[in-house]
Amino acid sequence: MNSFFQRILKFPKMLLVSILLISIAFFIVMKKNTRMETDLDEYMPQKHPAFVYSNQAEEWFNIQDGVIIAIEYSAGIYNSGTLQKMKELTKALQNMDEIEKADVTSLYTADNIVGTELGLDVKPFFKNVPKSEEKLTNLRQSVRENEMIYERLVNKDETVTVIIAEIKDDVFSQEFYHRLLDLAKDYEGPEKLYVAGRPIVEGTMAYLGPADMKRMVPIVIAVIIIVLLLVQRSIKAGLFTILVVLFSVVWAFGLMAALCIPIYAVSTMIPVMLIAIGVADGIHLYSHLHIYLRKNPRADKKTAVLDMLKKMWKPVVMTSVTTAVGFISLLTSEVYPIKYFGVFTAFGVMMAMFFSLLLIPAGILVFGLPRWKDRNKSGKQHENRFLNSIASLVIRHKYTTLFATIIIVAVSVWGATKVWINSSFLDKFEKDSDIVQTDTFINENFGGTSTLNVILDSEKEDAFKQPEILEAIDRLQNDVDGSMQVVGNSFALTDYLKRMNKVMHADSAAYNVIPESKELVAQYLLLYEMSGDPENLWKVVDYNYQKANLTFQLKSDNSIALNSTIAQIEEHTPALKELGVNINYAGSGYKGLVFTDLILEGQIKSLVMSLIIVVILLSLMFKKFSAGLIGAVPITITAIISFGVMGLLDIPLSTTTALLSSIAIGIGIDYAVHFIERYKIYAEETNEQGLTGRKTMQHSGRAIAFNALVVIAGFLVLLASVFPPNRALGALVSMNMFTSFVGTVTIMYLLLVRLNIYFKKNK
């Protein structure tokens, strides 16, 4: 390997120029091709059975996510000015290319089913905005008497009305997102307008994600430069260490852009991740160089560089490979953003290794050795007493160390049982952010901004014309609507039939029930098809009446709300099965729930796989299976503590915090590799445990402490992120790095000594 480096470093200037030119090319590609993925459906595995079925159901019933615009007027919406504004806004939405005219629902476009002397009539609530007080009163009364509209399009105290515009597939864009928001602003005053819905959540994430990344990356770079200067005490060393990570970020994003891989919300974490992780190799290389120059103050730069590479290439390669394995293990996840995050972060880590072993040595050869003030002082004078104290205290109080570790792990395991998965995309935003407050406002006044679609199907044609089946669905609706606080209301074929039955009996409340015979049901449906817009009917039932769509509106989109609602629905499954009806689920809410389950499943697979691979790699690297097991102890403990803290502090598992175990293993294993490698070298040199421990602490222990300090500082910057999950991740990773450092220099060091794997002769 030395001869390889000697050949490569014969032309250091050419090497530096080549790396710079390739990096510029990647940067140009990155600027040209990078795009942010705004469609949350693209985050999900489309070949998964749940998503395949849901997509089919969405086609059957034209299920689409909608933008909800709420118009609030504190004096009441039944005035000509507010109604005129609602009408104009409805038409403006209908004229947008991204929205089908028939897919905009408001008080102006909604069907009002009424009874007449001739039978059944379906007509709009108004065509021309009512001006007189009498006409306004009649409109108010018509809405109050219509259960399909009241508290769905107009709230109970009649101060808010909503317009729901369903968006075509694959048309949502940042430009359209801003047009919608600007349109709402244009119609404000004296009314207040609120814009919500899943497309708005997608647009806000797509808008804030890149902005957050652009804001965070310079802060991370500045913080790490400051910390590097403090720990390395050299401008040259700090400059080349930071260049390593900047080039690795550019290459990772350049490759993503070249392969046309979009940036997902979680991808915005890659720069922060690589900047914080990539400095590790540089810190260890310069730390070794510093120690070598203290011992050999007259050494020239070429000799010093070759010694640095000779002694450090192996642990640098080993740590980079094990770190990359931690991230590559994320390929076990079925969630595409997490897969891509793992692959490109692993690529960036390997590039950081490549640059560390070539860019840093070439930089030293071209620009000279770093200038350290203590270069000419003896190494003994600069031994870290704190690290020496750790070495002696751990051995002296071995049982206390072991007992404390067991207690911490036990408490963490208990805490880990409390970890829950959060499927909510809204919870990625601040509680006081506009989008969350808007969503809360609409949830307080209406059924809810989130939906769960229950798909009912039967093998018999005209099954959903059978009164007994319709009554079973109605019981299901009443039970879930009445017993679940998180459920605002529901909507199905039953609502049409109950309304028609009522108006055909002089609006008598006693007839607000399912018609008593199949013939009467068929008659009502025929009348509606003849009088109204049958397209509305096909959103709740298919043409053969073998499939039906029951929609529940929920006031929350998290997994607790969805799971509790599904559990209540499932209680009605036996009764429906007896009638030959099966239950399935569809829609964005359900897909979000499956999505989070896949995250948990992927986390377990990733954690187990990465631990197994790391143990195997360490065993091969150190040629001892026992060394592999010992090296895995700190990261295993760190992962357990991490999930324990999440459970105890009620931090849910999400697409962001799901990265935690891989990060903990990927970064934390570096400490173990460097420590064991140096311990092994000093064991062969000294053949005495106490001296080996102290020397290892001064060499690798010192570099590990610096590394942990830099990584912790880098990730703590995430506390300034606009996204709460990012802040949680920053705090947890910082804690993980501290835990990994402490675990490496305490319990792992204790195991190395007590198991005596490198001092068999003296056992």
Whether the pLDDT of residue 537 is over 70: the answer is yes
Taking the chain, what is the end-to-end CA distance rounded to the nearest angstrom?
A: 35
For residue 689, what pLDDT band results from cuts at 50, 70 and 90?
confident
d(CA 356, CA 361): 8
Supply the pLDDT for residue 474. Answer: 93
| Mean pLDDT of all residues in 432-458 | 88
Supply the pLDDT for residue 589. Answer: 79
Q: What percent of the chain has pLDDT over 90?
A: 24
Supply the pLDDT for residue 379. Answer: 46
Whether the pLDDT of residue 50 is over 70: the answer is yes
Query: What is the dihedral sign for C-alpha 490, 492, 494, 498?
Result: positive
For residue 652, what pLDDT band results from cuts at 50, 70 and 90?
confident
Given the structure tokens 């940067």, which residue do they identify?
Answer: 27
Output the pTM of the full model: 0.77
3-class secondary-structure state, position 66: strand
pLDDT tens-digit profile of 590-630? 887 887 778 777 777 777 887 888 888 888 888 888 888 89
Biggest CA-to-CA distance, the chain: 109
Whether the pLDDT of residue 542 is over 60: the answer is yes
DSSP string, 615-642: HHHHHHHHT-HHHHHHHHHHHHHHHHHH
For residue 41, what pLDDT band results from cuts at 50, 70 and 90?
low
> Can you name the residues that pair with 455 across neighbouring β-strands?
549, 584
Whether the pLDDT of residue 676 is over 50: the answer is yes
Q: What percent of the chain has pLDDT over 70?
A: 94
CB neighbours of residue 190 within 10 Å = 10
DSSP string, 321-370: HHHHHHHHGGGGSS-HHHHHHHHHHHHHHHHHHHHHHHHHHHHHHHH---
Pull the structure tokens for residue 267. Answer: 């991808």
| Mean pLDDT of all residues in 156-183 | 84
For residue 38, what pLDDT band results from cuts at 50, 70 and 90?
low
510's enclosing H/E stretch is none
From 18-22, 321-325, 645-649, the region with the lowest mean pLDDT: 321-325
Q: Which domains does the chain have, with CATH numbers?
A: 1-33+208-367 (1.20.1640.10), 64-202 (no CATH), 383-417+624-763 (1.20.1640.10), 434-590 (no CATH)
d(CA 468, CA 287): 79
From 192-196, 445-449, 546-550, 702-706, the region with the lowest mean pLDDT: 702-706
Pull the structure tokens for residue 751. Answer: 């195991």
From 235-244, 302-311, 571-580, 696-705, the region with the lowest mean pLDDT: 696-705
| Mean pLDDT of all residues in 449-457 | 90
Given the structure tokens 């070249």, which residue do they identify?
Answer: 258
d(CA 551, CA 567): 15
Whether the pLDDT of residue 382 is over 60: the answer is no
pLDDT tens-digit profile of 328-365? 888 877 777 888 888 999 999 999 999 999 899 998 88
Supply the pLDDT for residue 250. Answer: 92
For residue 479, what pLDDT band results from cuts at 50, 70 and 90?
very high
Supply the pLDDT for residue 161. Answer: 94
For residue 111, what pLDDT band results from cuts at 50, 70 and 90?
confident
Burial of 31: CB neighbours in 10 Å, binned 0-12, 13-18, 19+: exposed
Supply the pLDDT for residue 39. Answer: 65
Query: What is the dihedral sign for C-alpha 670, 675, 676, 680?
Result: positive
The residue type found at 752 is: L
3-class secondary-structure state, position 115: strand
In this structure, are residues 228 and 242 in contact, taking their beta carbons and an 8 Å threshold?
A: yes
pLDDT tens-digit profile of 65-80? 888 999 999 999 999 9
d(CA 725, CA 732): 10
For residue 137, what pLDDT band results from cuts at 50, 70 and 90?
very high
Highest mean pLDDT pick, 45-54, 170-179, 414-423, 519-528: 519-528
Whether the pLDDT of residue 759 is over 70: the answer is no
Whether the pLDDT of residue 715 is over 60: the answer is yes
In this structure, are residues 308 and 289 in contact, taking their beta carbons and an 8 Å threshold?
A: yes
Question: Mean pLDDT, the chain, as a whole number?
Answer: 84
| Mean pLDDT of all residues in 54-75 | 88
More confident residue, 374 or 273: 273
Pull the structure tokens for residue 672. Answer: 């173990």
Q: Quote the distance between the C-alpha of residue 19 and its chain's center.
A: 33
More confident residue, 172 or 109: 109
